[in-house]
Structure 1
């Protein structure tokens, strides 16, 4: 059956063929029994997980070789939407052959990525991304049962959205992977902030440790800093670590200084970066090629380099030639 037969409306094109196929023909649907476990020489583990927000539930079955902790077989049963069925089916398949500890590291992002037809095209619409979270949660539940430990010892400590059980790591990952720029986009991809909305920003009916607006601002700043290290910090350049200062200075030298000097056969190398009094940053430079020993280097070239660094990074930079 084609996915057009399974999903109506304009959204159907946003689902991958793999998702549509597994909705209709799950490979790993069904129960496992103690008799099957004994036949395979393993231990039967049964775990249940549900999402109160949407009413979906899933039951995961594992047969685990206790000598090696390897999952020999995995199946599931589910009450939920087609996306949840497809995600859980793929999740069960991904568990087979892995140790319990390796399976516990599978995330909902891993499941979604495995369901893609194309590397750079999401398998499901962003508003359905939350349907794969339950697959991630039921693995944790099965692991806790197998290990005979409380699930709280396995859960991510940093839960941002309690309603949708979305972690800080998941939110940071989807922002980076999908280059998200708004809180609304985060909610579309993860369902964080969709329900009680307390995690969106301060002032909701429940106080939260993390808020989406703050996470987004921080991760976006990190992304921009990585993409444009020369713009890393203009106002607070002196507060950067020495390593980050060096990276930012080198980026400015590569883009704005060295090409200009190279046209006249010259060059410049960064020798040292030191923080001095009053927030000033001393940048020690060494001239190369035609610039080395040039009478104009002490004044003209140094002025050019220093002014460029001050304009691009901070007016607290002072250049010296060594």
Structure 2
């Protein structure tokens, strides 16, 4: 059956011809018996794995050669949709003639790419990407059974996007390095969130402990804190950036310096302060503040305390800063 042959312009157009052919004519469906494995001088491994999100399941049979740990026989049975059959068939084929250690390195992306007609066109619709994940997971289950370990021992990092097998650490690094600001940019760089989309935010077909939206928000906030801390510790040459900031950035930069250097001093005497506004007045930056607590009635608020606040902000941000209590 050729791609799109059932209904022109229908959902079938989103499936590669490889997938459609393997749905209808799987090459490796079946089972391996103990006797067959023994005839190959191999140990029989049988592993089952199911996908909670859709109810599909797959059983993988391996005949692992005793002397070499090479997979000399590989079969599957699938209890699920056509895409699950196709991805399981390809997965089973990819395992052949690999050692167990080599097979466990096969990812769901490897399975999906092996089902493509052309390298740059996905083999299945995004919502069916989880089928290749199931195929990948049953490999881990079989390897864990053979080695006598927990299948989770093969995962050393927290996977956020199961479809693209992207870890939380990778996402944080990519967001920081490339200054990513949107989920779409993350998908472009990592493919996370580009398939079934369950990892983007709550409400998808599979619940997550943490979502891409959470990671993006937390990482952007962390980047801003790091930027403000760096700014607060900047040299005079580096501080020249204050002049090019927008109003919101200037207020955040001032807040960062106040939080690190000024507020602890005020709190010790029962006081505090908040930044109300920043206004440019020719070459000056007039920072309007409001004293709180004991500072609001302290006589030094217009002398010594004011001088200390202004000097600290000048030293850390810009020499043209003036502080104006209101």
- TM-score bucket of the superposed structures, by smaller chain: 0.5 to 0.7
Give the whole-Å Cα distance in 1 for the aligned partners of 2:81 and 2:104.
24
1:213/1:112 CA distance change after superposition, 3 Å: same
Residue 195 to residue 156, structure 1, CA distance change in 2 (3 Å): farther
Is 1:54 paired with 2:54? yes
Question: Please, which moves more after superposition, 3-12 or 127-136?
Answer: 3-12
Deviations 1:214-269 (A, max 9, x none): 234578x7xxxxxxxxxxx79855767xxxxxxxxxxxxxxxxxxxxxxxxxxxxx
TM-score (structure 2 length as normaliser):
0.59
Are residues 213 and 308 of structure 1, via their aligned partners in 2, closer, same or farther at CA, if it must alter by over 3 Å?
Answer: closer
Measure how far apart 1:153 and its partner are.
2.6
Inter-partner Cα distance in structure 2 for 1:54 and 1:159: 19
**Structure 1 gap ranges (5+):** 200-207, 222-232, 241-274, 285-305
Given candidates 227, 234, 239, the residue that maps to 1:280 is: 234
Considering only CA atoms, is the larger Rg found in Structure 1 or Structure 2?
A: 2
1:296 is aligned to none
* 2:150 matched residue in structure 1: 150
| Alignment-derived partner of residue 186 in structure 1 | 193
**Residues 83 and 102 from structure 1, CA distance in 2 versus in 1: closer, same or farther, beyond 3 angstroms?**
same
For these two proteins, the number of residue pairs brought into alignment is 238
**Which residue does the alignment assign to 1:169?**
167
Cα separation, partners in 2 of 1:308 and 1:160, compared to 1, 3 Å: closer
Q: 1:166 to 1:122 in 2, by over 3 A?
A: closer
Instruction: Quote the Cα distance in structure 2 between the aligned partners of 1:218 and 1:23.
Output: 42
Aligned to 2:89: 89
SS at match of 2:167: helix
CA deviation map 1:90-141 (0-9, x unaligned): 1111111111111111111111111111111111111111111110111111
What is the RMSD computed on CA atoms of the aligned residues? 4.2
The answer as to whether partners of 2:108 and 2:165 remain within 8 angstroms in 1 is no
* CA deviation profile, 1:151-190 (whole Å, cap 9, x unmatched): 34334552558xx8996529959978851899xx828435
Match of 1:38 in 2: 38
| SS of aligned partner of 1:75 | strand
Instruction: Provide the TM-score with structure 1 as the length reference.
Output: 0.60
Q: Evaluate the alpha carbon distance shift between residue 51 and residue 4 of structure 1 in structure 2; reply closer, same or farther with a 3 A threshold.
A: same
Change (3 A) 1:32 1:177: farther
Cα distance, 1:4 vs structure 2:
3.5
